Amino acid sequence: VALCQLSVTADKARNIARARAAIESAAADGAKLVLLPEIWNGPYSNDSFPEYAEDIEAGGDAAPSFSMMSDVARSLQITLVGGSISERSGNSLYNTCCVFGSDGKLKGKHRKVHLFDIDIPGKITFQESKTLTAGQDLTIVDTDVGRIGIGICYDIRFQELAMLYAARGAHLLCYPGAFNMTTGPLHWELLQRARAADNQV
């Protein structure tokens, strides 16, 4: 398993190239399952979500991040949990994680269910719900490395999601994240350990 930590810039093409290089490096080191972080192809902001959004259904030039992930998973024959990108579908924007099999095919797509709206005076204020639409579905994916349950970042805060995944036979839970540095240090490791211990995954 390899986790790719990326420093995101405003240059989408550069972000895509750097993500691909990180995935290739991970596979060269023997990783069979590679994960990218949340919103890795552009800045994490309400202003940027519409600008960097991709039409996954259309594919091709309308979805260069999606196309790269599919291509690299196939060429390296790995399972790729593609972090998340901003997805445009009709008039809505979603924070979406795509999971690709070793054949490069899309195995599953998770739209972030729990949007992160926070206001801690003097520390952090952010409202994902200003631009993003919440997903409605659980996402369990059968892959070459086992059955995986997918959440995105703040989804980890809600234990019911993990419990449902475990009850449906997921052996591994993946939560790509770009956690902030105000609540992140309080919650991120704690909640990962709690979800793992509670559900024995």
Q: What is the CATH number of the domain that holds 81?
A: 3.60.110.10
* Residue 112 annotated to the active site: yes
Domain residues for the domain of 159 are 2-199
Q: Once rounded to an integer, what is the mean pLDDT over residues 96-122?
A: 93
For the chain, the C-alpha Rg in angstroms (whole number) is 16
Q: Which residue has the higher pLDDT, 180 or 72?
A: 72
Q: Which residue from 20, 23, 40 is spatially nearest to 32, judged by alpha carbons?
A: 23
- pLDDT of 200: 97
- pLDDT of 122: 86
Taking only the tens place, the pLDDT of each residue in 164-176 is 999 999 999 999 9
Q: Which of 12, 112, 128, 174 is catalytic?
A: 112
- pLDDT of 181: 81
- pLDDT of 127: 85
- pLDDT of 56: 95
In whole angstroms, what is the distance from residue 27 CA to residue 73 CA?
Answer: 10
State the pTM of this model: 0.94
Q: Which of 4, 97, 98, 153 is catalytic?
A: 153
**Do the beta carbons of residue 182 and residue 125 sit within 8 Å?**
no
Taking only the tens place, the pLDDT of each residue in 18-66 is 999 999 999 999 999 999 999 999 999 999 999 999 999 998 999 999 9
- pLDDT of 194: 97
Q: Which of 38, 54, 87, 128 is catalytic?
A: 38
- pLDDT of 36: 98
- To the nearest whole percent, how much of the chain has pLDDT over 70? 100
Q: Which residue from 88, 78, 87 is spatially nearest to 69, judged by alpha carbons?
A: 78
- pLDDT of 123: 83
Query: Which residues contact residue 194 at a Cβ distance below 8 angstroms, ignoring those fewer than 6 apart?
Result: 159
How many domains does the chain divide into?
1
Q: Once rounded to an integer, what is the mean pLDDT over residues 92-109?
A: 98
* Residue 153 annotated to the active site: yes
In whole angstroms, what is the distance from residue 201 CA to residue 186 CA?
Answer: 22
Is the pLDDT reported for residue 117 higher than 80?
A: no
* Residue 38 annotated to the active site: yes
